[in-house]
Amino acid sequence: MKRAPRLVAQVALYVPLMALLGYLSTRPQFSVIAPDEALLRLSFIHAAHRAHACRSRSAAELAKLPPNMRAPLDCPRARVPLRVELQLDDRVVLEREVTAAGLRHDGEATVYFRTAVPAGRHLIAVRMGDRPGGGFNYTRTATLDLAAGSALVIDFDPAKGGFVFRS
Amino acid sequence: MLKRLHLAGQWVFLHVEGLFNLAFGEKLNPLYYLGPIAYYLMWVVVASGLYLYAFFKTGVQGAHASVEYLTVQQWYLGGVMRSLHRYGADAVALTMLLHLTRHWCFDRYRGFRWFSWVSGLALLWLVYAAGINGYMLPWDRLSQFVVVATAEWFDRLPMFGGELVRNFIFPENVNDRLFSLLTFVHIGVSLAVLAVLWVHTQRVPQAKTLPPRPIAVTLTIALLALSLAKPAVSQGEANLAAAVTTIGFDWFYLPVYALLYRWGPGEVWGLVGGLTLVLALLPWLPPRRRKGPAEGYHMLVRPDNRIVAVREGETILDAGLREGIAFPYECRNGGCGQCKATLAYGTVDYGAYQPDMLTAQERGAGKLLLCSATPLGDLEIDYQPTAVPGGIRARVWTATVDALDLLAPDVMRVMLRLEGGERIEFYPGQYLNVLLEDGEKRSFSFATAPHVNDRIELHIRRIPGGRFTTQLFERTKVGDRLRFEGPLGSFFLREDSDKPIIFVAGSTGFAPVKSMLEYAFHRGLARRMILYWGVRRPEDLYLALLPRQWAREHANFSFVPVLSDPRPEDHWQERTGLVHDAILADFPDLSGYQVYACGSVEMVEATHPAFTAHGLRQDDCFSDAFRLAARVRSHAPELVRLGGTA
């Protein structure tokens, strides 16, 4: 092939290649959530109560233990799983039992949940149970206006009385 | 099934490459340089990244603002650099994926190539890690998405336990230290990429790490044009208090992140982990039965007269380059025809190549492409060398016969003097090809040392019925002219070791040894040197007085003549038997020695396995015929007889 047609051919091959690079570096766009939606996230770390109450060791039990380990109370380390429920309007969108971290399940439980919700007014209820025997001992309900593109985070802070809604 | 997929892939690549050949020519086709282009683009990314780093502020307030300054206020340089950084990195990913796919299609990832494949895979993931991490730095909406999505993804791993993402949910949790950490990771992973890249290319003999300059220039201009036409820009400052909705997305680096928001972290880990595992195991899937001998094949390479081992599935080009053979080559992909050579003996798999580069007629005439062909047995290859050791170029010389001395009934010493008072440079151990009138060639080693370059000494043994040697012994006289080409061959004395040297000469194999020893004495080499000269009868030691004289004059040299077939009337009082038996009796452990062997195929055939069994390292064996098995044209063993052929 002669020089001029060859140059044209090179340009004809390079242009689509560069166009492909330029295009795929930003397009097609990706929608994390739709433009008319808001983001709702539930995120907290919390240590639940122990699964079993402490009990007093009998004298016979204590005698069997090495002298340096004769603690009068036997307190099992395991914690109950956290029970979490998130309700959006009349729909429960999250219902989960979260096991405590650690080999003996004696650590904190971590909860993370993300969902997109249509922008607008919503009744949001979040419940959490951290004690043996079932049931929810922390609850918070609120009706909120969620704007499109906004983000609501539900955190848990016992010092502030339980669930905290942050937007 | 796998074979069909390979063939289909080859078909696609060959046709697309053929199309590119029309535009770029065979020698500048970018598709033949995918690896070097990826390498080059990495340097573009590193260079532009260093510029960006000079202006980048590693803080919550400064990160986005400093990138915006580069993009907007300094668009003519900083903005261009940012775009080059972005598009260069995208092009690296694209080129690496094409490079990997091509090697898979052409079945160049199995057997001994497993290391290159696996290290390439590690490289690919490292490039992805660096690229994804790079998107966190401008701290725009895309950064916010990538940071949060990465945290959500990694939180699926037990060691993080779901706590990582909380660092990016609340704005107050993000501080300047995060940007120092991200920058540190970005630079650290990029350095790791360069390190693994270096390891990756070390296994490829004479790997090119840069494409030809015209390709590099064109590619750079194209990337610059793209940077100016569509500058890389930020997508609004990150705001952790707001949701990321729709964003421009880099589909070269982030498709996994799109999946993350469709499938979930666990599923994406399964996909990435499974894909990595399958890709890493591909060299062994399915297990392939060995077709040839475990040690591979051997090829005799001319005009070097060297024997080179070829691993199963290895191209002749790679095997030769690995051993320092100066094979001509350019694209290494069967596309340019630069590595065309002649298959003088043996059978090969010709491999996949552009049909124009090797026509059916050429194949019929014994031609092949070194970069595509793989041996199916022992071979003999003729090629046109591109260079010789030390950059001394071979050329054709004219010389006159200065003296003819009959050293033994069947050995003639021929002294040549170059016409016009010219002087020839060569390495001790190299050889020349005497050019006969009908185009035939006969190879003989220089017997003189390089410092004696005004005359050339050859030791030529008469071969019964040999055309050239018969003429030499019966009709050639002083003053006759002859033409020869040289110097040739890569068998020469190495001076990069202090190990003692054992020279093994068989018959006229003494000639190159004489050249090496005289050179060593001239240079004052202090290494211990022992010459074992093995012949049948005493009269075959046609210059025995010379090594005996050397032994008297040089304390570091000793001479051991060994006769294999002495008769009672010879009254031979010295060593008898096979020369290698004598050496092994004297040196049961050869691990601390170097051996230079020159002689017949039979001698070499016997010595090599015996020596290696006694600890001699392959790297310390030197012989143009050392690795030859008599399998290579066993009916014509004189092919590799360095002291002289018929």
Q: Tell me: cis bond preceding B568? Omega within 30 of 0 counts.
A: no
Give the architecture-level CATH label for domain A33-50+80-166: Sandwich (2.60)
Query: Whole-angstrom Cα distance, residue A9 to residue B247?
Result: 35
Question: CB–CB of B258 and A30 under 8 A?
Answer: yes
Query: Whole-angstrom Cα distance, residue B1 to residue B13?
Result: 18
Search chain B and give the residue with CA nearest A3.
B23
Query: Whole-angstrom Cα distance, residue A13 to residue B17?
Result: 12
B3: Cβ contacts below 8 Å, ≥ 6 apart = none
Give the one of B86, B161, B241 whose C-beta lies nearest to A151's C-beta.
B241
Residue B427: the pLDDT is 84
Give the one of A27, A32, A153 whose C-beta lies nearest to B245's C-beta.
A32
Q: Tell me: cis bond preceding B385? Omega within 30 of 0 counts.
A: no
Size of interface A-B (CB pairs under 8 A): 112
User: What HEC string does A56-81 produce?
Assistant: ECCHHHHHHCCHHHCCCEECCCCECC
Which of 51-90 (A) contact B at CB < 8 A? none
Search chain B and give the residue with CA nearest A150.
B242
Residue B628: the pLDDT is 37
pLDDT-based confidence at B618, cuts 50/70/90?
low
**Which residue in this structure is represented by tokens 């003729």?**
B382
Residue A60: the pLDDT is 93
Mutation target among B226, B245, B250 for the A interface, most CBs of A within 10 A? B245
- Look at residue B635 and tell me whether its pLDDT is greater than 50: no
- Look at residue B631 and tell me whether its pLDDT is greater than 60: no
Question: CB–CB of A45 and B166 under 8 A?
Answer: yes
- Look at residue B281 and tell me whether its pLDDT is greater than 60: yes
Q: How far apart are the first and last CA of chain B?
A: 52
Residue B600: the pLDDT is 75
The answer to whether A47 contacts chain B (CB < 8 Å) is: no
Q: Phi and psi (nearest 5°) for B478?
A: -60, 135
- Look at residue B365 and tell me whether its pLDDT is greater than 50: yes
The answer to whether B281 contacts chain A (CB < 8 Å) is: no
The answer to whether B229 contacts chain A (CB < 8 Å) is: yes
State the nearest Cα–Cα gap between A63 and chain B, in angstroms. 40
Cross-strand partners of B246: A31
**Which residue in this structure is represented by tokens 């573009």?**
B44
pLDDT-based confidence at B598, cuts 50/70/90?
confident
Q: What percentage of chain B has pLDDT greater than the value 90?
A: 55
Q: Write down the CATH number for the domain with range B390-488.
A: 2.40.30.10
The answer to whether A6 contacts chain B (CB < 8 Å) is: yes
The answer to whether B222 contacts chain A (CB < 8 Å) is: yes
Q: Tell me: cis bond preceding B547? Omega within 30 of 0 counts.
A: no
Range name among B140-154, B393-407, B429-443, B455-469 with the lowest pLDDT average: B429-443
B119, B121, B131, B103: which is closest to B42 by C-alpha? B131
When pLDDT is averaged across residues B580-596 and rounded to a whole number, the result is: 91
Which residues of chain A make contact with B152, given a CB cutoff of 8 A? 112, 114
User: What HEC string does B505-534 produce?
Assistant: EEHHHHHHHHHHHHHHHHHCCCCCEEEEEE
Domain spans in chain A, listed from the N-terminal domain onward: 1-30, 33-50+80-166
Residue B298: the pLDDT is 87
Q: Is the dihedral of CA B276, B280, B283, B287 positive or negative?
A: negative
Query: Whole-angstrom Cα distance, residue B478 to residue A11?
Result: 65
Residue B453: the pLDDT is 76
Cross-strand partners of A165: A154
B531, B511, B505, B537: which is closest to B409 by C-alpha? B537
Residue B109: the pLDDT is 92
Residue B610: the pLDDT is 85
Search chain A and give the residue with CA nearest B26.
A1
Question: CB–CB of A31 and B250 under 8 A?
Answer: no
- Look at residue B606 and tell me whether its pLDDT is greater than 90: no
The answer to whether A18 contacts chain B (CB < 8 Å) is: yes
pLDDT-based confidence at B629, cuts 50/70/90?
very low
Query: Whole-angstrom Cα distance, residue B625 to residue B607?
Result: 11
A2: Cβ contacts below 8 Å, ≥ 6 apart = none
Per-residue pLDDT tens over the stretch B513-530: 999 999 999 988 889 999
B172, B74, B192: which is closest to B130 by C-alpha? B192
Which residues of chain A make contact with B86, given a CB cutoff of 8 A? 25
Search chain A and give the residue with CA nearest B235.
A26
Query: Whole-angstrom Cα distance, residue B579 to residue A109?
Result: 80
- Look at residue B632 and tell me whether its pLDDT is greater than 60: no
- Top-confidence residue, B133 or B391: B133
Query: Whole-angstrom Cα distance, residue B218 to residue B42?
Result: 16
Region for B220 from its dihedrals, namely left if φ exceeds 0, alpha if ψ lies in -120 to 50, beta otherwise: alpha
Give the architecture-level CATH label for domain B297-382: Roll (3.10)
The answer to whether B166 contacts chain A (CB < 8 Å) is: yes
Give the one of B22, B23, B243 whose C-beta lies nearest to A150's C-beta.
B243
Query: Whole-angstrom Cα distance, residue B342 to residue B570?
Result: 47
The answer to whether A102 contacts chain B (CB < 8 Å) is: no
User: How crowded is the C-beta side of A15, counted as CA atoms within 13 Å?
Assistant: 6
**C-beta separation of B581 from B553 below 8 A:** no
CA distances to B404, B537, B633 from B509, in Å: 19, 15, 20
3-state helix, strand, coil in chain B (%, to 5): 45, 15, 35
- Look at residue B637 and tell me whether its pLDDT is greater than 60: no
Search chain A and give the residue with CA nearest B264.
A114
The answer to whether A99 contacts chain B (CB < 8 Å) is: no
- Look at residue B512 and tell me whether its pLDDT is greater than 60: yes
Give the one of B23, B163, B243 whose C-beta lies nearest to A151's C-beta.
B243
- Look at residue B424 and tell me whether its pLDDT is greater than 60: yes
When pLDDT is averaged across residues B152-176 and rounded to a whole number, the result is: 89
Give the one of B24, B225, B230 whose C-beta lies nearest to A10's C-beta.
B24
Question: CB–CB of B23 and A13 under 8 A?
Answer: yes
Question: CB–CB of A14 and B163 under 8 A?
Answer: no
Residue B36: the pLDDT is 94
Domain B32-93+107-284 has CATH 3.40.640.10: no
pLDDT-based confidence at B305, cuts 50/70/90?
low
Domain spans in chain B, listed from the N-terminal domain onward: 32-93+107-284, 297-382, 390-488, 501-640
When pLDDT is averaged across residues B452-466 and rounded to a whole number, the result is: 88
Segment (H or E) for A45:
strand A37-46
Residue B83: the pLDDT is 97
Residue B347: the pLDDT is 92
Mutation target among B249, B250, B252, B262 for the A interface, most CBs of A within 10 A? B249
Q: What is the CA radius of gyration of chain A?
A: 28
When pLDDT is averaged across residues B404-429 and rounded to a whole number, the result is: 90
pLDDT-based confidence at B388, cuts 50/70/90?
low
Region for B227 from its dihedrals, namely left if φ exceeds 0, alpha if ψ lies in -120 to 50, beta otherwise: alpha
pLDDT-based confidence at B638, cuts 50/70/90?
very low
Per-residue pLDDT tens over the stretch B66-95: 999 999 999 999 999 999 999 999 999 999
Give the one of B166, B245, B258 whose C-beta lies nearest to A149's C-beta.
B245
CA distances to A25, B221, B230, B485, B580 from B226, in Å: 11, 9, 6, 53, 68
Question: CB–CB of A21 and B162 under 8 A?
Answer: no
State the nearest Cα–Cα gap between A65 and chain B, in angstroms. 35
Segment (H or E) for B75:
none
Helix axis angle, B2-24 to B80-105, nearest 10°:
130
DSSP letter for B366, please: T
Which residues of chain A make contact with B214, given a CB cutoff of 8 A? none
State the nearest Cα–Cα gap between B68 and chain A, in angstroms. 17
- Look at residue B644 and tell me whether its pLDDT is greater than 70: no
Question: CB–CB of A110 and B25 under 8 A?
Answer: no
Residue B645: the pLDDT is 34
- For the residues of B162-223, what is the DSSP string, one character each? T-GGGGGTSGGG--HHHHHHHHHHHHHHHHHHHHHHHHHHHTSTT---S--HHHHHHHHHHH
Which segments of chain A have a pLDDT < 50?
none
Which residues of chain B make contact with A166, given a CB cutoff of 8 A? 170
Residue B180: the pLDDT is 92
Which residues of chain A make contact with B248, given a CB cutoff of 8 A? 26-27, 29
| Fold of the domain built from segment(s) B501-640 | Rossmann fold (3.40.50)
Which residues of chain B make contact with A153, given a CB cutoff of 8 A? 169-170
The answer to whether B34 contacts chain A (CB < 8 Å) is: no
Q: Which two tokens stand for residue B9?
A: 């892939």
Query: Whole-angstrom Cα distance, residue B504 to residue B493?
Result: 13
The answer to whether A41 contacts chain B (CB < 8 Å) is: yes
The answer to whether B152 contacts chain A (CB < 8 Å) is: yes
Question: CB–CB of B226 and A41 under 8 A?
Answer: no
**C-beta separation of B407 from B643 below 8 A:** no
Residue B624: the pLDDT is 60
Give the one of B170, B226, B244 whose C-beta lies nearest to A22's C-beta.
B226
Question: CB–CB of B251 and A22 under 8 A?
Answer: no
Question: CB–CB of A6 and B155 under 8 A?
Answer: no
**C-beta separation of B117 from B282 below 8 A:** yes
Question: CB–CB of A33 and B243 under 8 A?
Answer: yes
Region for A16 from its dihedrals, namely left if φ exceeds 0, alpha if ψ lies in -120 to 50, beta otherwise: alpha
Residue B391: the pLDDT is 62
Residue A40: the pLDDT is 95
State the nearest Cα–Cα gap between B286 and chain A, in angstroms. 35
When pLDDT is averaged across residues B220-229 and rounded to a whole number, the result is: 96
The answer to whether A103 contacts chain B (CB < 8 Å) is: no
CA distances to A45, A132, B222, B580 from B461, in Å: 92, 102, 63, 22
Q: How far apart are the first and last CA of chain A?
A: 65
Question: CB–CB of A26 and B250 under 8 A?
Answer: yes
Q: What is the pTM of this model?
A: 0.72
- On the question of a common fold for B390-488 and B501-640, the answer reads no
User: What is the average pLDDT value for chain B, to the nearest integer?
Assistant: 88
Q: What percentage of chain B has pLDDT greater than the value 70?
A: 94
Enter the ipTM: 0.90
Per-residue pLDDT tens over the stretch B91-135: 999 999 999 999 999 999 988 889 999 999 999 999 999 999 999
Query: Whole-angstrom Cα distance, residue B500 to residue B595?
Result: 9
Question: CB–CB of B87 and A25 under 8 A?
Answer: yes
Residue B597: the pLDDT is 87
Question: CB–CB of A14 and B222 under 8 A?
Answer: yes
Give the one of B22, B242, B248 whose C-beta lies nearest to A151's C-beta.
B242
Per-residue pLDDT tens over the stretch A144-161: 999 999 999 999 998 888
pLDDT-based confidence at B64, cuts 50/70/90?
very high
Question: CB–CB of B161 and A110 under 8 A?
Answer: yes
